[in-house]
């Protein structure tokens, strides 16, 4: 009877250990690298406005005002992409839209992406694409302690720095494909004035010029 009791206790212990091990194996694998599993994700939202164009291209004053009100309601800002879907591909229409967008220091950039519906004849579609970035799953406090027997990083490792990066990048698209341009960074262009100042020859290197001064006074005794 005692042996049977011991066997049952051993079986219960083995079953509990197996349950714990299965729970551990089902949990998310620990990250033993210095690369964070919490990475920024870029999401794109598109806003669409259809406008009427003039027979020869361009926009009437009323449509330009409506477009300006729409840009203002969106809070148009740096990082937004303005594209135009115009069946006639009128340069006058593009110039009119760029004239309105120029109030925000922006302009259109190439053809528009595919959007639901179609553009009616005698009209054009303006699409504003706005990207946002965030780090999913952060903050992650699923682990109560940073201690790890496997020398793994904590559950929230990388949330702070990648969250700040996603918040600080002005153009979120740069997190996906980087910035394109001449290869000159802002720092490089900003130091041109400093380098020019340092390379300039001192104004007094050749000595001071002797300027003769004369004064004349007139009057009678």
pLDDT-based confidence at residue 9 (cuts at 50, 70, 90): low
pTM for this structure? Answer: 0.61
Mean pLDDT on 65-83: 94
- Do residues 158 and 38 make contact, with C-beta atoms less than 8 angstroms apart? yes
Percent of the chain with pLDDT over 70: 75
Angle between helices 91-101 and 61-74 (to 10 degrees): 50
CB atoms within 10 A of CB 169: 17
Among 68-77, 109-118, 176-185, the range scoring the smallest mean pLDDT is 176-185
Q: What is the Cα–Cα distance from 163 to 134, expressed in whole angstroms?
A: 7
Closest-CA residue to 79 (of 130, 133, 134): 130
* pLDDT for residue 126: 95
Bond prior to 139 in cis (omega within 30° of 0):
yes
User: Which alpha helices (H) appear in the chain, and where do they start and end?
Assistant: 2-26, 61-74, 91-101, 159-168, 174-177, 186-190, 192-199
Alpha carbon separation from 106 to 47, 98, 142, 153, 195 (Å, rounded): 16, 7, 44, 43, 31
- Do residues 60 and 54 make contact, with C-beta atoms less than 8 angstroms apart? yes
Q: What is the dihedral of CA 13, 16, 18, 21, to 10 degrees?
A: -120
DSSP codes joined into one string, 57-89: SS--HHHHHHHHHHHHHHT--TT-EEEEE-TT-
Closest-CA residue to 107 (of 96, 119, 92): 96
pLDDT tens digits, residue range 155-213? 888 999 999 999 998 888 888 887 776 555 556 656 777 777 788 877 767 776 776 66
Strands 108-111 and 81-85: parallel
């Amino acid at each position: 009877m005692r042996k049977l009791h011991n066997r049952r206790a051993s079986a219960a212990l083995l079953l509990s250990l197996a349950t714990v091990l299965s729970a551990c194996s089902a949990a998310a694998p620990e990250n033993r690298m210095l690369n964070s599993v919490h990475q920024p994700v870029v999401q794109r939202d598109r806003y669409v406005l259809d406008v009427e164009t003039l027979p020869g291209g361009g926009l009437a004053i009323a449509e330009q005002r409506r477009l300006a009100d729409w840009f203002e309601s969106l809070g148009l800002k740096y990082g937004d992409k303005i594209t135009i879907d115009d069946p006639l591909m009128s340069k006058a229409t593009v110039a009119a839209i760029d004239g309105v967008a120029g109030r925000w220091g922006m302009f259109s950039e190439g053809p528009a992406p595919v959007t639901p519906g179609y553009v009616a004849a005698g009209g054009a579609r303006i699409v504003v694409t706005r990207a946002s970035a965030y780090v999913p799953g952060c903050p992650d406090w699923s682990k109560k302690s940073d201690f790890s027997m496997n020398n793994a990083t904590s559950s929230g490792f990388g949330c702070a720095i990648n969250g700040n990066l996603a918040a600080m990048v002005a153009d979120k698209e740069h997190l996906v494909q980087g910035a394109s341009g001449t290869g000159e960074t802002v720092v490089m262009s900003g130091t041109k004035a400093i380098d020019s100042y340092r390379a300039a020859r001192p104004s007094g290197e050749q000595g001071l010029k002797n300027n003769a001064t004369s004064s004349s006074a007139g009057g009678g005794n």
